[in-house]
Amino acid sequence: MNMKNLRLFINHNAQISGVPKYLSNELRMLRWSKYSSSSLPSNFNGNNLCIFRMRHSLIKKLDGLKLKNLREMDLSFSKFLTKIPDLSSSANLKKVHLQYCENLVEVHCSVGFLDKLSDFLVNGCSKLRIFPESFKLRSLCLLQLYDCSSLQDFPEILCEMKFLYHICLRGTSITELPSSIEKLTELQSFDLNGTGIKELPTSIGKLTKLERLSARDCKDLVHLPSSIHQLHRLCSLKLDRCSQAINIREVEEDGTQSTASVVCKGQYEIESSAELTSINSSIFNDGSSSSANWAPLALSLQFCCLSESNFFTDANYFPTLVELDLSGSDIVFFPQGVRFAGLKNLCLNNCKQLAEILPLPLSIAKVEARGCTSLKSFAELSKIFFNNNGRNSSGLKIDLHGCLKLLVNMMLPSWEERDSKEQNREDHLEARIMGIIFSGKGIPSWFSYRREADNSNSCEIDDINGPHYCDDIEEIILCVVIGFRIIKPGMEETEICVRIHDGWLWHVLCTQHITFDWTDSDHVWMGCSVMPHIEGDISRFRFECDSELVVFKSVGVHLVKKHEGNVRDHAGWLHEDAGAHFDASSEEVEKWVDLNDDYHLVKRHRT
C-alpha cells in the first residue's frame, strides 16, 4: 500500500515482516525502533523529514537522503551503521544521537559546522576514528564522546561556544587538547578520565567558569600548566591513579613552559610562613592575598607517584585547598601545614611509605591515615587533639588504624597549663567532640572506669563512685574497643551515642559517626568531650551503637577534674618533651594496651 500523503509514521516494537518497499516523501516524522532492513526504500529521499528516529535498527548506510528540513536524528544502538554522510544541507539540525553504534567509523566533517546543533551524542562508538577536525557549533549544549576508544583527536574550536557546560571524553584515546579550548568559555566540568592525554594546554587557565576537572587513570599524563591556578572556581581536581610523576610547568614570558625542580623523596624544602604568604599573594589577578572569591578546592591524588613530582614544592597553585586525598601514593612525609592554610580534611590511607606527618594547619578537622605501616611520627598530635595553640578542635576526627609504628606522646595537660594559654575560656568550654581511631584490644589502664561489653551493641557503666558534679568536671575522655560480628570487604559506617545519667534523667553526651575498615583486628575509638551543664550527680554512662554488625568489646570513661594540680602519672603514660620521637619497651606498651605482638603507643604531648 502506497500512502503518498503520509506525514507521520510511528512504530513502537510492532513486528513487520519483510522489507518496506515504499515510504512517502511527505513524511515529517519517522520513528521506527528496531527497523529490520539495512537500508531505506530507494524511492525515499527524506526531503521533508524533520524527526528521524530509528534506534536499534539494522540500517548500514544513509545514502541518497536529502535531509534539508531535518531537526532531529537518533540512530543510537544501530550496530551495523558505519558512516554518517554529508549533512551540510541540514542547516536546521539540532540533535544528533549516535550512541553505542559499535561499528560506526566515520562522522562527516560537515557535522562540525551545523550552527543550530545543540545535542551531539556519540558516546560508546568504539570504532569511531574519523571525526570533524573543527567545531563551529555556536549552539552546542551537550557533547558526549566518552567510551569512543579509537578516537585520537579532539577538534579545534573555531568560535566561542558559550552554551556548552559539560564535556566527557572518558575512555577515548585522545592524547592532546588544542589551545583553542579557551573558547569553551562557559565550561563547568571536564572529564578526561582514562584518556591518553599527556599534558593540558596552558589555555586551560582561561576556562574561568570551570568547577570540576577530572583526569583519573591517565597513564601518560606528566604535566599540568601553572595556569591552572587561575581557575578560581575550581572546586574539584581529581588525578587519581596517574602512574607517571605529574609536574607543574611554569609558563615563561615568551610562552614556553619549564618544569620546576623535581623533588626527591624526603627532600621537600619547607618555606617559612612569611615566605609562603608572600608567594601566595602573587597568584590573585588583582595582586591581593584575599581568596574570598575563590572556591574551596578538593584535590585527589590517590595512588599517584608523588615522590618524584614537584606538586607540593610550592603552595601557589592551591591557595583554597580544603580537602586532600593522597591515599595509596608513595609520599614519604606530608609537607608542613602552613602550605595549606585552609585544609580541613586530609586522607593518607594506605600510604605505605609515609613516615612522618609534619605540623598540620589550625583548620584541620579530619585526618585519615589507615594502614600507613611506616608512619612513626605525627607532629603535634596533642596540640591538634587538645585544642592548644589556638586550634579549634571541635569535631576533630583522626583515624590511625593499622599505624602500628606510630609513637606519639599524648600526655594530658593540666587545667592550669591550658587555662594559662586560653584567652577566652568560654570558647574553650563550647561543646566539642574529638575522636581518634587506632589498633588495639583493650581500654588503657589509667581510665577511671572500665567495663567489658560482651560483644553487644550497647553497654552501661553504672559503678561510678561519686559524687561527681558538673561544675567539678572539665572534660570527659571516652574509649570504646570495637569489633565486628562478621568480616566482609569494604567499609562500615556506624553512629556511636554516649549518654550520661544525672540521677534523674539520661542526657546525650556525644554522638559520633565513624567509618571502619572491615578487618579481623579490633578498633579502638577514643574521644574527648567537654562536660555538659546538667544538674545532679553523675551516676551512669551508656554506650550505644546503631549497627547490628558492629559490637562493643569494652568501654571506658575517664573524668578530668577542674583545678587539679599537675596531672597524675597514670600507668601506661610515658613522659617526655613535646615532639620527641622514641622507641617504647614491650613492658611500657603492655601497660597501655594489649596488641598481641603489634606495638603501638598513643601518648599526649606536654605543652
Residue 130 has φ and ψ, to the nearest 5°, of -100, 115
pLDDT of residue 599: 32
The pTM (predicted TM-score) of the whole model is 0.79
Judge whether 73 and 94 are in contact, CB under 8 Å: no
434: Cβ contacts below 8 Å, ≥ 6 apart? 385, 393, 394, 395, 396, 397, 398, 527, 528, 529
Beta-strand (E) ranges in 226-308?
Answer: 236-238, 247-251, 257-259, 297-300
* Contact predicate 25/43, CB 8 Å: yes
Give the confidence band of 97 by pLDDT, cuts at 50, 70, 90: very high
Under the banding of pLDDT at 50, 70 and 90, the label for residue 391 is low
pLDDT at 13: 74
Q: What is the rounded CA–CA span in Å between residue 243 and residue 510?
A: 43
Q: What's the average model confidence in pLDDT over 304-324? A: 77
Greater confidence (569 vs 344) lies with 344
- Of 128-132, 324-328, 410-414, the poorest mean pLDDT is in 410-414
Is the Cβ–Cβ distance between 216 and 239 less than 8 Å? yes
Of the candidates 460, 461, 440, 459, the residue with the CA atom closest to the CA atom of residue 551 = 459
- The answer to whether 120 and 142 are in contact (CB under 8 A) is yes
List pLDDT tens digits, range 226-246.
898 899 999 999 999 998 888
Q: pLDDT-based confidence at 433, cuts 50/70/90? A: low
pLDDT band at residue 43, thresholds of 50, 70 and 90?
confident
- Of residues 281 and 172, more confidently modeled: 172
How confident is the model at residue 449, as a pLDDT? 92
Each residue of 484-509: pLDDT tens digit?
A: 888 777 777 888 899 998 878 898 98
Q: What is the pLDDT of residue 603?
A: 33
pLDDT of residue 426: 40
- State the pLDDT at residue 561: 81
**Nearest Cα to Cα of residue 61 among 91, 84, 43:** 84
Query: All domains of the chain, ordered by start, with CATH?
Result: 425-604 (2.60.120)
Q: What is the helix (H) or strand (E) element at residue 122, kind and residue range? A: none
- Mean residue pLDDT across the chain: 79
Task: Give the span between the Cα atoms of 121 and 517, in whole angstroms.
Answer: 40
Which range is most confident: 125-129, 304-308, 314-318, 548-552?
A: 125-129
Say which residues have a Cβ less than 8 Å from residue 475's Cβ, sequence separation at least 6: 528, 529, 530, 531, 560
The average pLDDT across 40-52 equals 92
8 Å CB contact between 370 and 521: no
206 pLDDT exceeds 90? Answer: yes
User: 383-388 long-range contacts, Cβ below 8 Å, gap at least 24?
Assistant: 383/578, 383/605, 383/607, 384/360, 385/410, 385/434, 385/436, 385/528, 385/604, 386/412, 386/413, 386/418, 386/528, 386/604, 386/607, 387/418, 387/428, 387/432, 388/413, 388/418, 388/421, 388/607
pLDDT, tens digit, 9 for 90 and up, residues 255-292? 555 544 433 333 333 333 333 333 343 333 334 445 55
Q: Distance between CA atoms of 180 and 162, rounded to whole angstroms?
A: 13
Query: Alpha helix (H) ranges present in 151-286?
Result: 273-280
Arithmetic mean of pLDDT, 587-607 = 36
pLDDT, tens digit, for every residue of 54-67?
Answer: 999 999 989 888 89
Residue 475's pLDDT is: 81
Q: How confident is the model at residue 380 (pLDDT cuts 50, 70, 90)?
A: low
Residue 395: which pLDDT band, with cuts at 50, 70 and 90? low
What pLDDT is attached to residue 287? 40
pLDDT at 79 over 90: yes
> Which of 51-65, 86-100, 564-578 is predicted least confidently?
564-578
pLDDT at 383: 60
Residue 581 pLDDT: 33
Does residue 527 carry a pLDDT above 90? no
Phi, psi of 496 (to 5 degrees): -105, 130
Residue 278, CA distances (Å) to 284, 286, 295, 518, 557 in order: 12, 14, 21, 45, 47
pLDDT tens across 101-150, in order? 999 999 999 999 999 999 999 999 999 999 999 999 999 999 999 999 99
Per-residue b/e over 508-541, b at no fewer than 16 CB within 10 Å? ebbebebebbeeebbbbbbbbbbbeebeeebbbb
- Which of 331-340, 419-428, 558-567, 578-587 is predicted least confidently? 578-587
Question: Is residue 225 a contact partner of residue 197, using CB atoms and an 8 Å limit?
Answer: no
Tell me, what's the pLDDT at 156?
98
